[in-house]
Amino acid sequence: MEIVIQETPEAATEIAAMIVARLLREKPDAVLGLATGSTPLLLYRSLIEKKLDWSRVTTFNLDEYIGLPQDHPQSYHSFMWTNLFRHVNIDRARVHIPDGNAKDIPGVCAAYEKRIRAAGGIDLQILGIGTDGHIGFNEPTSSLASRTRIKTLTPQTRKDNARFFGDEESVPHHVVTMGIGTIMEAREVLLLAFGAQKAQAVAEAAEGPMTAINPASALQMHPEARFCLDTGAASKLQRAEYYRWVYDNKPDWQRP
Ligand code: GLP
């Protein structure tokens, strides 16, 4: 696992944006796994500004709320079109977001896994992290081998996400999310985390034991996982100085 610590969210985002941009230039038909939440907003803004060619890019989003109409402002469909897709030349047919309104949700989950495989697998998966260590919507104690399925949100996550909905009552209880096993199959994983409220979850994910209580800790088993953090999110890492030194002294050929 590589841990990159930068002073600000903007600086950490820029490194992530360079990695995504390089992939899209080198592999114009890349398959991206995308995340929602406030954390990747800067990344999407930066990618829009880079004026990349998205015409052959395929995307799979991590998750979606169940029962929220697609045109609801807080659905992840709305989020993605508002914050990224509308601003780039992506082919609508190559965009995949789980359908949280389907009658047969288990069928939707199985089909989602199949489509990822048919697309050749995910080249690069973007992740945020919940304050409880969740990735996608894989809440604590999710199976580390899990696949796309229904999950029930914890009270903590509903409270965290209430800021988008106005009140906690309006936050759905159920979601569809890629599993941890699904995420682990991406060839490269890039987790972004900003702010001191993420520091505990980040420290446990990177330096704690690998445990289902912190789902992001599964990334310790991923051969190409990178965390891009600001100083707040990095503030509880025991070996922060070491990670900074490693990054500052990388040979040029190893730099993102
Ligand atoms: C949501 C999303 C996650 C996201 C997390 C953190 O619940 N399902 O993909 O990483 O919460 O959100 P934020 O970036 O807003 O802190």
Its sign, for the CA torsion 106, 110, 115, 116, is positive
Under the banding of pLDDT at 50, 70 and 90, the label for residue 29 is very high
Active site residue 72: no
In a domain, 252, yes or no: no
Its sign, for the CA torsion 206, 207, 213, 217, is positive
**163: number of CA atoms within 13 Å, CB side?**
6
User: Which residue range forms the structural domain that includes residue 159?
Assistant: 2-228
In a domain, 255, yes or no: no
Q: What ligand 1 atom has the least distance to the C-alpha of 37?
A: 15
In a domain, 198, yes or no: yes
In a domain, 76, yes or no: yes
Domain count, the chain: 1
pLDDT tens string 135-189: 999 999 999 999 999 999 999 999 999 999 999 999 999 999 999 999 999 999 9
In a domain, 240, yes or no: no
**What is the CA(37)–ligand 1 centre distance, in A?**
4
User: Which of 39, 126, 164, 229 to mutate to test ligand 1, by most ligand atoms within 8 A of the CB atom?
Assistant: 39
Note the Cα 205 to chain centre separation in Å.
14
| Residues in CB range of 207: below 8 A, 6 or more apart | 237, 238, 239
> C-alpha angle with apex 163: 175 to 142, nearest 5 degrees?
30
| Residues in CB range of 47: below 8 A, 6 or more apart | 17, 20, 21, 84, 88
In a domain, 246, yes or no: no
Active site residue 139: yes
In a domain, 256, yes or no: no
In a domain, 155, yes or no: yes
Q: What is the CATH number of the domain that holds 10?
A: 3.40.50.1360
Q: CB within 6 Å of ligand 1 — which residues?
A: 35-39, 62-63, 128-130, 136-137, 157, 161
Which structure tokens are listed for 189? Answer: 């994983």
pLDDT tens string 197-245: 999 999 999 999 999 999 999 999 999 999 999 999 999 999 999 999 9
